[in-house]
Amino acid sequence: MPTFVTVLTSVLSSIVARIFLALGVGLVSYSGMQLVLDKLKGWVSSSMSGMPVDMYNLALMAGLGVALGYIFGAYSFVITYQLTSKLVFGMKK
């Protein structure tokens, strides 16, 4: 008959393994999506640097910089929200 300590050890090792697995998947996914976001920011930045100076200043005065900040912030939020849903153990939606 298994003792309480052996049952507790096997349950805790299973839980710890699941936590490390979920964190590892989340970290890899987040790192990949962060690379995509950085590439997208670089592409937007290089596209805007090709504009004439007056057009660039008008776009910034019109709020293009703030709008881009909102878009990239929303994209980062969606990525983070989707990755935190992977940290739910054993529950299926």
66: in domain: yes
Domain count, the chain: 1
pLDDT digits (tens, 9 = 90+) for 22-70: 666 666 667 777 788 889 888 888 888 888 999 989 998 999 989 999 9
11: in domain: no
Q: Between these two residues, 89 and 76, which has the higher pLDDT value?
A: 76
37: in domain: yes
The percent of residues above 70 in pLDDT, for the chain, comes to 77
Q: What does the CA dihedral 45, 47, 53, 59 come to, rounded to 10 degrees?
A: -80
Q: Say how many C-beta atoms besides its own lie within 10 A of residue 92's C-beta.
A: 4
Q: What local confidence, expressed as pLDDT, does residue 22 receive?
A: 65
70: in domain: yes
Q: Between these two residues, 78 and 16, which has the higher pLDDT value?
A: 78
Range of the domain at 31: 25-87
